[in-house]
Amino acid sequence: MNRRRLIAFLRTFAIVVLALMVVPQAVPAQRAAPSPPPPTPYNPYPPGILPADLQSELDRVSREVNLLFQQALAESRALPPPFLTGQPPTLQGSGVQMVQTLGKLMNYDMNMSPFKNVACASCHMPYAGFSGPIPSVNLTMIAYPGSFRFRANKRTAQRYTYSPWYPVFQFNATQQLFFGGNFWDSRATGYLLQNPDAEQAQHPPVDTGEMGLPDTACIAFRLSQAVYRPLFEQVWGMGSLDIKFPPDTEKICATPGGAAVFGTDTTPVKHSTPSWRATPR
């Protein structure tokens, strides 16, 4: 090999070596650190209290509740518009059906709980006589888990078909017994509203062992966001949900009642009063 070829060869070799030195070398892939397991929620119950099929049964009931909600939503959209007549003006035509359908929608609306996983009907299903629909719970826990799954109330879910017909809590002089009121202990007396059923309806949404909302204002807030809000306003009047809620309302309503963050505040949603209520007539 002559001198010229040797120099050319060495030059080419040097270029190749230099290229190998500056080209980034493959770095062995590092294994991603495994994610820590989610914390196990505190379960206060001793073994044998919670039925083994509790979660799967709660999921089943949630699917059934959602199906009935969707049916009610379809019914509401198929209703013909009502008409006002008479003095005072009252809804005629489909007016009664509108009220019934609105009640059905609210009864099967799982948004009426902090975690949007429990409706009124979750503990009062039609095929169970409007009581608890999970056999294993009826045989063990008796009381049903609320929106916060490891909270449950003290009594079994009462069949509420009786509730519209009970009078205001009163003493019956003939029988020498107290009579009327709603709930097992008649604590929804109906004194203030003169309607035990209307008073009873206020309790479960904010009961910490049931639907668990931290403030009754959360009911109006969730209604204001509901897909069926137009039907609600058609029944109760335009502007009935025109409430100015603070920016943190969703955060508050997504926190179960009784949380330490609320302290002793039972009305953490600081909303403004609608003008139609602020001005007495």
For 23-40, how does the pLDDT look when each residue is reduced to its tens digit (9 = 90+)? 444 444 445 556 566 556
Question: What is the CATH number for 226?
Answer: 1.10.760
Q: Is residue 24 part of a domain?
A: no
Average confidence (pLDDT) over 20-25: 42
Tell me: cis bond preceding 256? Omega within 30 of 0 counts.
Answer: no
Q: Is residue 246 part of a domain?
A: no
Q: Is residue 260 part of a domain?
A: no
Side-chain-side CA neighbours of residue 213 (13 Å) = 26
Task: Tell me what the pLDDT averaged over the chain comes to.
Answer: 83
Across 22-31, 207-216, 217-226, least confident range: 22-31
Q: Is residue 167 part of a domain?
A: no
Integer Cα distance of 59 and 49 in angstroms: 19
Q: Is residue 72 part of a domain?
A: yes
Q: Is residue 214 part of a domain?
A: yes
Q: Is the pLDDT of residue 125 over 80?
A: yes
Across 59-63, 92-96, 123-127, 221-225, least confident range: 92-96
Q: What percent of the chain has pLDDT over 70?
A: 82
Q: Which of 38, 107, 120, 113 is nearest to 73 (CA)?
A: 107
Quick one: pLDDT at residue 226? Answer: 97
Quick one: pLDDT at residue 2? Answer: 52
Integer Cα distance of 81 and 20 in angstroms: 79
Quick one: pLDDT at residue 57? Answer: 96
Give pTM, 2 decimals.
Answer: 0.77
Quick one: pLDDT at residue 273? Answer: 63
* Helix 229-236 vs helix 95-107: crossing angle, to nearest 10: 130
Q: Is residue 261 part of a domain?
A: no
Range of the domain at 110: 54-159+201-241
Across 127-131, 192-196, 248-252, least confident range: 192-196
Q: Is residue 59 part of a domain?
A: yes
48: left (phi over 0), alpha (psi -120 to 50) or beta: left
- Number of domains within the chain: 1
Q: How many residues does the chain have?
A: 281
Q: Is the pLDDT of residue 241 over 70?
A: yes
